[in-house]
Amino acid sequence: MRGFAMIEPGKTGFIDKEDPKVGPRDALIRPLAVAPCTSDIHTVYEDALGPRQNMILGHEACGVIVEVGSEVKDFKPGDKVLVPAITPNWSDVYSQAGYATDSDGMLGGWKFSNIKDGVFGTRFHVNDADGNLAHLPAEIDPAEACMLSDMIPTGLHASEMAGVTFGDTVAVIGIGPVGLMALRGAVLHGAGRVFAVGSRAKTVEVAKQYGATDIIDYHNGDIADQILAATNGVGVDKVLIAGGDAEHTFADAVKMLKPGGSIGNVNYLNGHDNVVFNAGDWGVGMGHKTIHGGLMPGGRLRMEKLAALVVNGRIDPSLLITHRFEGFEKIPDAIELMHHKPADLIKPVVIC
């Protein structure tokens, strides 16, 4: 098989490898469509995970099953499937404890383009096929199905972790595709006023379509000060973080949060950094301001539930897709777009 890989940190290219071996509970998939993620950029160009060599990139895809193991019950060759970016080991005790993303070790549910080859291959391997794949509903086109791998589950998880509820005032920091889905998650959870923090015109336009009531540009000064000013010093109930950095963003989030409020972070921070915020803004340690951070939950049930949001028109993933490429060979072009983030980009998709 052929795949688009991180040859070493900072260097990418197509490589050839043997097809992956299919164990009794596994599946081998041919991609129908794939999408690059900002996380691929962190991995390749920012050394965020540490060194990897000749590792095929990508964790957003839908595809057609080529082969299944002898114990797979609900899927067969030829089936079209949704594939979550996170494919936990459902037998692990952490899965039983409710933290399947941390099965096989912290973040060990994240297998594609982390601890094994990802989905930017002419074939890719899925562990625990019955537990992790979902049938692709006929109503969802393959490009949009790629948004169900990571953007929709990750963004919605930010809102879930923060516990957004009816009438909440919410700030969403970062309105790339992940932040836009966090925003949509907040709206679906019943948020009242929703601040969207970003600057690129296309993302601002789509943030309004997904339900943002106020736009804050972080280039115009401190985010917390802008949002505190807009709320007469009261602040917000929930902050969802899908952009910014470890050094400044949590300080803003903690500062703008009301006592009792909570933060849902899905931003991928650089493992070499420290998260910094002011203890006074955190009620000198006693302000009941909670910080949650999580990898998107994966697995089949989650995929089926989120697909129902798309099929029934609660989330329109087509608004996220600004660039479409035809052909597997175009994966490097899509990665380059994600690397340089032109003003008109939200998310590129490659139809294979």
Q: Which residues bind Zn ion (CB under 5 A)?
A: 37, 39, 150
Tokens 């459902």 appear where? 90
How many residues belong to the site for ligand NDP (CB under 6 A)? Answer: 29
Order the strands of the 11-16 sheet from edge to edge.
11-16, 2-8, 55-56
146 is a site residue for ligand NDP (CB under 6 A) = no
Q: What is the DSSP track for 195-243?
A: EEE---HHHHHHHHHHT-SEEE-GGGS-HHHHHHHHTTT--EEEEEE-S
Structure token pair of residue 58: 């990508």
Q: Which helix (H) or strand (E) holds 31?
A: strand 27-35
Query: Minimum distance from CB of 66 to ligand NDP (Å)?
Result: 26
295 is a site residue for ligand NDP (CB under 6 A) = yes
195 is a site residue for ligand NDP (CB under 6 A) = no
Query: Minimum distance from CB of 51 to ligand NDP (Å)?
Result: 18
Query: Minimum distance from CB of 331 to Zn ion (Å)?
Result: 15
Q: Are the CB atoms for 215 and 223 separated by under 8 Å? A: no
Query: Minimum distance from CB of 81 to ligand NDP (Å)?
Result: 20
43 is a site residue for ligand NDP (CB under 6 A) = no
175 is a site residue for ligand NDP (CB under 6 A) = yes
Residue nearest to Zn ion (CB): 37
Which C-beta is closer to ligand NDP: that of 114 or that of 127? Answer: 114
Judged by CB under 6 A, which of 178, 256, 291, 331 binds ligand NDP?
178
> What is the Cα–Cα distance from 116 to 235, expressed in whole angstroms?
43
Of 7-15, 66-74, 169-177, 321-329, the window that binds ligand NDP (rule: CB under 6 A) is 169-177
Q: Which of ligand NDP, Zn ion, none does residue 267 bind (CB under 5 to 8 Å by kind)?
A: ligand NDP
Structure token pair of residue 137: 């509903």
Judged by CB under 6 A, which of 3, 31, 58, 176 binds ligand NDP?
176
Q: Report 319-348 residues binding ligand NDP (CB under 6 A).
A: 341
Across-strand partners of 83?
A: 61
Structure token pair of residue 156: 């919605």
Judged by CB under 6 A, which of 3, 58, 63, 244 binds ligand NDP?
244
CA distances, 29 to each of 66, 73, 125, 287, 338 (Å)? 5, 16, 6, 49, 24
> What is the Cα–Cα distance from 132 to 24, expressed in whole angstroms?
14
Q: Which of Zn ion, ligand NDP, none does residue 296 bind (CB under 5 to 8 Å by kind)?
A: ligand NDP
Torsion over CA of 265, 117, 88 and 110, rounded to 10 degrees? Answer: -20
287 three-class SS: coil
Q: Report 196-225 residues binding ligand NDP (CB under 6 A).
A: 197-200, 203, 218
Query: Minimum distance from CB of 302 to ligand NDP (Å)?
Result: 12
Residues found near ligand NDP in the complex (CB under 6 A): 37-39, 42, 150, 154, 173-179, 197-200, 203, 218, 242-244, 249, 266-268, 295-296, 341
